[in-house]
Structure 1
């Protein structure tokens, strides 16, 4: 915990500083949600195709980033909202200006009570 997943359009691969974003987001999660640094884990999942409205999906038209942060239950709505806002703010700084229109979103959710993990 936290479990962080970032889905993004593969067309923005060269414009997205993923390593820098992950580090900054981990720092924000520690600061805002009282997570332990060693508990922060992020997976990036590029999407081969991004469709927007009725437009033909082109290689440079639109790009989408969605950040999902799963935390153990117990954080208040204010904490979750603050972390969501910070995630979006950090995205602005880690995605370079490019020829695509960026659609960014984020959410913080409670992990289900059945959540378990192990380290090896």
Structure 2
């Protein structure tokens, strides 16, 4: 843990290096949450469409990051993680000229008794 998901608009697909961003997010998670490097996993999912309000334009794009982790982290650690991720998004992801980019980070707790994982080596 943590499990990190990054949902991003299709309009951003060619505009940033997902691997570089994922590695940077994992480093921030390691530092702020005192997580083991191998426990930080970031997955990217492209979203086909974003609708903002009732007047959102076709060039609006979004990057939404969700960090799921076991409870026990301090509010300060969570805040540092969220601020660090937002800074990384500003550094790594650039919208097209004239586009509006919305960014958000959500930290969610995962029940330890309700979570299992495994590593399979082929």
> TM-score, normalized by length of structure 1?
0.91
2:35 equivalent in structure 1: 35
> Per-residue CA shift, 1:8-42, capped at 9, x if unaligned?
11111111221111011111111110111111111
Q: More deviation in 31-40 or 108-117?
A: 108-117
Please give the root-mean-square deviation of Cα atoms over the aligned residues, in Å.
1.3
1:84 equivalent in structure 2: 82
Q: How does 1:10-89 map to 2 (within 5 A)?
A: 10-55=10-55, 58=58, 61-89=59-87
In the alignment, structure 2 segments of 5+ residues that lack a partner are none
> TM-score, normalized by length of structure 2?
0.90
Give, in whole Å, the separation in 2 of the partners of 1:17 and 1:62: 20
Structure 1 residue runs of 4+, over 4 Å off? none
Shift of 1:96: 2.3
Native 8 Å contact 1:81 1:108 kept in 2: no
In the alignment, structure 1 segments of 5+ residues that lack a partner are none
